[in-house]
A and B are shown apart, each in its own frame.
Chain A
């Protein structure tokens, strides 16, 4: 039954759609950084959209199958190969017992999602199989997959030869655009900084991971002067500790914005200038270091419409693959 891990790539983790409901206790929502791609991969192999698969960042793993399986790879442009023979991305294909799945160099995007018919059947921890590495939760013993691991696979009923239509494969542009709603602490920066944040071209820093994505090369933000309130530190980017929403943008010291993502901490003392809209969070999961990025200011109506559009896109995938 199990899949043997031959090599792990860079960092490959078991993820599903996440572990909501514990963020207020400091346990992040985890789950795939690009949940759209994860859902598509699962649908392609006939799984529930919330089944667990693998998230491989920048470098694909090498896996050996001990039983026949139907597999699909979505997300980053990192061509899958079966025993060296190339396979179509965003499509389901057959793998036979004894064959190996490997990957080419990354050509676009950042994270590939590998779904296997039946899903990866590790124990459910707090409602999810997602790996939260810092908290040693989920996955295989709370760790990224490693050579020698045997990944248990559930009972599946997938079919090979299914494909997500190209117009429904979502990848970030270059430069990337992320839509943002200014937040509760927007008033903490001066007007000139409110303008420059949206006008500047930022670049994804190499310090970008499942906790957060950091950006550089835009202008430093200037804060409105005030006497810091009780409990806030002396730095003007500090606030009295508060909850951090998923997608919120904090700017420690006013210099490098960080967007909190699936494995983020849930609270702290940095002001947040706003929040990336939920419809664009998946795109961040596909951004490589050095990607030029523009933040685009939107209002709540636009954000809700974008969320609706994303749901409509998913519905189209469901229909195309049903």
Chain B
């Protein structure tokens, strides 16, 4: 069953914990509930986005450093 992980807040989406580090997750990786899948930067601070789904990551719906709105799907999980 496919589901989506949405951003809880508006800001800028980052797939890596820091510019010189690998992404939290890649397409094909498994993800568990509560795992961090990216960061959203807003108001000069970074907030971890955690998964409320579990399964395999099918697609990232927002590119790294892309703008996101609250409630916008970031990742689809199957």
Q: Which of B22-30, B53-61, B63-71 contacts A (4 or more CB under 8 A)?
A: B63-71
Determine the chain A residues whose CB is within 8 A of the CB of B6 once the complex forms: 105
Determine the chain A residues whose CB is within 8 A of the CB of B43 once the complex forms: 11, 57, 206-209
What's the minimum C-beta distance from A263 to chain B, rounded to whole angstroms?
Answer: 11
**Residue-wise interface mask of A (196-217) relative to B, using a CB-CB cutoff of 8 A (1 in contact, 0 not):** 0000000000111100000000
- Interface flag for B12 (CB, 8 Å): yes
Q: A209 near B44 (CB under 8 angstroms)? A: yes
- Interface flag for B34 (CB, 8 Å): no
User: In the complex, A57→B43 CA distance in Å?
Assistant: 10
Q: A58 near B67 (CB under 8 angstroms)? A: no
- Interface flag for B62 (CB, 8 Å): no
Determine the chain B residues whose CB is within 8 A of the CB of A58 once the complex forms: 8-10, 42, 70
Majority SS at the chain A contact face: loop
What's the minimum C-beta distance from A204 to chain B, rounded to whole angstroms?
Answer: 9
Determine the chain A residues whose CB is within 8 A of the CB of B67 once the complex forms: 289-290
- Interface flag for A315 (CB, 8 Å): no
What's the minimum C-beta distance from B56 to chain A, rounded to whole angstroms?
Answer: 25
- Interface flag for B41 (CB, 8 Å): yes
- Interface flag for A167 (CB, 8 Å): no
Q: B44 near A289 (CB under 8 angstroms)? A: no
- Interface flag for B47 (CB, 8 Å): yes
Q: B44 near A106 (CB under 8 angstroms)? A: no
- Interface flag for B11 (CB, 8 Å): yes
- Interface flag for A72 (CB, 8 Å): no
Q: A289 near B10 (CB under 8 angstroms)? A: yes
What's the minimum C-beta distance from A57 to chain B, rounded to whole angstroms?
Answer: 7
Determine the chain B residues whose CB is within 8 A of the CB of A208 once the complex forms: 42-43
User: In the complex, A288→B44 CA distance in Å?
Assistant: 14
Determine the chain B residues whose CB is within 8 A of the CB of A290 once the complex forms: 10, 67, 69
Q: A105 near B71 (CB under 8 angstroms)? A: yes
Of the candidates B42, B47, B70, the one whose C-beta lies within 8 Å of that of A105 is: B70
Chain A residue nearest to B43 in the complex (CB):
A209
Determine the chain B residues whose CB is within 8 A of the CB of A110 once the complex forms: 10
- Interface flag for A168 (CB, 8 Å): no
User: In the complex, A266→B55 CA distance in Å?
Assistant: 51
What's the minimum C-beta distance from A133 to chain B, rounded to whole angstroms?
Answer: 11
Determine the chain A residues whose CB is within 8 A of the CB of B8 once the complex forms: 58-59, 105
**Residue-wise interface mask of B (36-48) relative to A, using a CB-CB cutoff of 8 A (1 in contact, 0 not):** 0000011110010
- Interface flag for A226 (CB, 8 Å): no
Q: B10 near A106 (CB under 8 angstroms)? A: yes
**Residue-wise interface mask of A (281-300) relative to B, using a CB-CB cutoff of 8 A (1 in contact, 0 not):** 00000001110000000000
Determine the chain A residues whose CB is within 8 A of the CB of B44 once the complex forms: 206-207, 209
A residues at B contact (CB < 8 Å): 10-11, 57-59, 105-107, 110, 206-209, 288-290
Further pairs besides A106-B10, A206-B12: 11, Cβ < 8 Å: A10-B47, A11-B43, A58-B8, A58-B9, A105-B70, A105-B71, A107-B71, A206-B11, A206-B43, A289-B11, A290-B69
Q: List 24 A-B contacts (CB under 8 A).
A: A10-B9, A58-B8, A58-B70, A59-B8, A59-B9, A105-B6, A105-B70, A105-B71, A106-B9, A107-B71, A110-B10, A206-B41, A206-B43, A206-B44, A207-B43, A207-B44, A208-B42, A209-B43, A209-B44, A288-B10, A288-B69, A289-B11, A289-B12, A289-B42
